[in-house]
């Protein structure tokens, strides 16, 4: 009788944590490498779980993949470590327990750290070794990212007819980190061919049971649960799990009542926990019916916080739209900044964009400045948000704060690395990439946090994204644009462009897209400014002609500013009939220059309308 045949008839007990026991024995290095260097220790742990009542054990291969082993310089040992793991587990089982080949998830918060292509390659390498060594089934565990799990499950199902157990991990009760309800996720995994679907890690029995209350019994597959012992505590530099074995004995029957047929343990669990569950479930009869609870999620659009006027992308679709960047000051005191903001507002801009410590240089908080100009001047702020300065907690708090302040226009960008700024020793966080940040903001607009927890309200952010056309292969940059659109971007702001030919190229490369683009134009103020931008600022390239024109101005600041405005106007002319959106970047708080350019744009627009009337 095989594993699935037994699950049809009775509940099976699985093993608990491997790493917890090794850690408790004073081992604090790569656990998977012990398959080679200390095989007796691994066999002993397997045997302890079988003696405790485990019908199913898993190989010590959770992190035995190229990506994780590379951290220890063991990436070339993937085949050897996985082969040894299966042989040790089978030696310990000796026909008394099923052996599952375990493959753990790779993606955590920042999906961009490990691409799907790398996931596929790494997964196949590990899977083929486990299958070749004759495991009784495959356990896919600790997958927070549903896309990753669906990807590897499809590969595994194509390669083997052995039983496949697919486990997701949750941050919050009943919902995955992308907002997918647990019941929906498990149904999708069943549809992809998983024989057993369920949960492991992160949650203890209490929260895992609450999550399973919302999950119906699968139509074909079976349910499984591998809870953590508890939430971990951190004492004297070590992680400690408090839950005693008696608690697992008490909750084991509750898991059976939720339809679980394969039950084991994850972080913090030991043979004592498994023995307690086996004792509680001495009658292994599973349930065949259950009542599913429906959890009401209350998410509303706030009536207290008014939405902004027409979203910026809609403005750029229907008419000429001008936004201006005016960086918050590097020093305390904002009188000159406010004077510039007022002058630009009076000139007729649609929004004032505020960089988030551009070039990794500390400035007055753009959220604080945005609030002031919104309340005092009636200026519409567009707040830049970088991934550099805030971790995932800080980013979500920041977004909630902006929503509470009624600031709905944001630009999601990666942010210049700290090493190029005033404090090169400062840490660059980058929990998320710009793609991930765009997804996060879109999820906020659906009323869900990163972990899938309801926010209570839906935000109404208009999501801007960056587009750098100053690259050798424009088609690759456009592919990044398209990916950002898929993530949820509503419109784009480009890096400053200093070539009329480049503007035409951009139009040809992006005319198939419906997403509005604001063309970045920044007037030059001197030859030194031009050379610095060209040679030292990432993402900005000046043509030889423009550099020569600025150099011809010598040291005359008035003539240089006049020439910089003339160059900017010619770029505006080139963009005028191709793009509705113009994004003016103010250099060195010289708002007089951008005011002149804003007026120039409005004069051109008025003249164009007049010609249309005359010839209409």
Feature table: binding site for Zn(2+)? 201, 266-267
- Give the 3-state secondary structure of 161-193: CCCEEEEECCCECCECCCCCEHHHHHHHHHHCC
Residue environment code for 505-529, b if the CB has 16+ CB neighbours within 10 A, otherwise e: ebbeebeeeebbbbbbbbbbbbbeb
Let me know: does 286 contact 11? Beta carbons within 8 Å: yes
CA distances from 536 to 162, 328, 403 (A): 57, 22, 36
Task: Give the separation between CA 326 and CA 372, rounded to whole angstroms.
Answer: 14
DSSP β-bridge partners for residue 160: none
Task: Give the separation between CA 50 and CA 275, rounded to whole angstroms.
Answer: 9
| Nearest by Cα to 240 from 209, 270, 208 | 270
Task: Give the separation between CA 570 and CA 576, rounded to whole angstroms.
Answer: 10
CA distances from 416 to 135, 331, 390, 473, 531 (A): 48, 20, 13, 21, 19
Full DSSP string of 550-582: HHTTTT-HHHHHHHHHHHHHHHHHHHHTT-SEE
Full DSSP string of 332-346: S--HHHHHHHHHHHH
For residue 241, give the 3-state DSSP assignment.
coil
Task: Give the separation between CA 548 and CA 136, rounded to whole angstroms.
Answer: 72
Residues 6+ apart with CB under 8 A from 346: none
| Nearest by Cα to 137 from 39, 250, 249, 57 | 57
Task: Give the separation between CA 281 and CA 532, rounded to whole angstroms.
Answer: 72
How far from the centroid of its chain's Cα atoms is residue 497's Cα?
29
Q: How far apart are the first and last CA of the chain?
A: 84
Q: Give backbone dihedrals phi and psi of 127, rounded to 5 degrees, phi first.
A: -60, -45
For residue 213, give the 3-state DSSP assignment.
coil
Q: Which residues are annotated as a binding site?
A: 201, 266-267
Let me know: does 547 contact 563? Beta carbons within 8 Å: no
């Amino acid at each position: 009788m095989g594993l699935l045949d037994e699950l049809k008839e009775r509940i099976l007990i699985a093993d608990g944590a491997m790493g917890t026991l090794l850690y408790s024995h004073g081992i604090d290095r790569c656990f998977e490498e012990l398959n080679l260097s200390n095989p007796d220790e691994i066999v002993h742990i397997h045997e302890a779980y079988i003696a405790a009542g485990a019908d199913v054990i898993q190989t010590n291969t959770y992190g035995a993949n190229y990506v994780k082993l590379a951290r220890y310089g063991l990436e070339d040992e993937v085949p050897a470590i996985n082969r040894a793991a299966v042989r040790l587990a089978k030696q310990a089982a000796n026909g008394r327990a099923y052996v599952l080949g375990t493959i753990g998830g790779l993606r955590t918060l920042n999906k961009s750290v490990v691409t799907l292509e790398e996931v596929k390659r790494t997964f196949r390498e590990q899977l083929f070794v486990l299958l070749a060594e004759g495991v009784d089934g495959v356990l896919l565990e600790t997958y927070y990212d549903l896309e990753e799990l669906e990807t590897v499950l499809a590969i595994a199902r194509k390669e083997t007819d052995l039983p496949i157990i697919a486990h997701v991990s949750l941050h919050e009760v009943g919902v995955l980190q992308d907002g997918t309800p647990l019941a929906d996720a498990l149904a999708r995994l069943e549809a992809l061919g998983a024989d057993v679907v369920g949960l492991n890690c992160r949650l203890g029995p209490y929260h895992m049971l609450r999550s399973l209350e919302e999950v119906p019994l699968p139509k074909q597959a079976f349910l499984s649960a591998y809870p953590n012992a508890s939430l971990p505590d951190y004492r004297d530099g070590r992680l400690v799990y408090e839950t005693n074995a008696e608690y697992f004995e008490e909750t084991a029957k509750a898991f059976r009542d939720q339809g679980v047929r394969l039950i084991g343990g994850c972080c913090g669990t030991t043979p004592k926990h498994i023995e307690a569950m086996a004792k509680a479930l001495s009658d292994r009869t599973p349930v065949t019916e259950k009542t599913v609870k429906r959890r009401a999620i209350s998410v509303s659009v706030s009536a207290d916080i008014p939405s902004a006027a027409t979203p910026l992308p809609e403005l750029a679709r229907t008419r000429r739209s001008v936004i201006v960047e005016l960086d918050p000051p590097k020093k305390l005191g904002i009188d000159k900044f406010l004077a510039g903001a007022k002058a630009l507002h009076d000139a007729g801009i649609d929004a004032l964009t505020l960089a988030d410590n551009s070039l990794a240089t500390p400035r007055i908080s753009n959220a604080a400045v945005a609030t002031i100009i919104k309340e005092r001047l009636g200026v519409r702020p567009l707040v830049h948000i970088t991934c550099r300065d805030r971790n995932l907690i800080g980013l979500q708090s920041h977004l909630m704060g902006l929503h509470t302040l009624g600031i709905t226009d944001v630009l999601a960008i990666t942010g210049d690395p700290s090493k190029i700024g005033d404090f090169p020793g400062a840490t660059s966080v980058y929990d998320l990439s710009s793609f991930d940040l765009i997804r996060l903001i879109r999820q906020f607009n659906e009323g869900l946090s990163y972990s899938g927890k309801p926010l209570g309200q839906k935000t109404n952010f208009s999501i801007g994204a960056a587009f750098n056309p100053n690259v050798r292969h424009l088609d690759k940059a456009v592919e990044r644009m398209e990916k950002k659109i898929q993530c949820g971007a509503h419109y784009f702001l480009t890096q400053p462009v200093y070539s009329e030919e480049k503007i035409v190229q951009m139009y040809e490369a992006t005319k198939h897209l419906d997403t509005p683009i604001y063309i970045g134009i920044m007037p030059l103020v001197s030859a030194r400014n031009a050379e610095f931008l060209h040679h030292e600022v990432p993402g900005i390239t000046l043509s030889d002609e423009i550099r020569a024109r600025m150099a011809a101005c010598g040291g005359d600041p008035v003539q240089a500013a006049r020439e910089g405005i003339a160059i900017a106007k010619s770029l505006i002319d080139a963009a005028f009939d191709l793009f509705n959106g113009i994004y003016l970047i103010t250099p060195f708080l010289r708002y007089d220059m951008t005011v002149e350019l804003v007026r120039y744009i409005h004069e051109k627009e008025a003249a164009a309308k007049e010609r249309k009337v005359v010839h209409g």
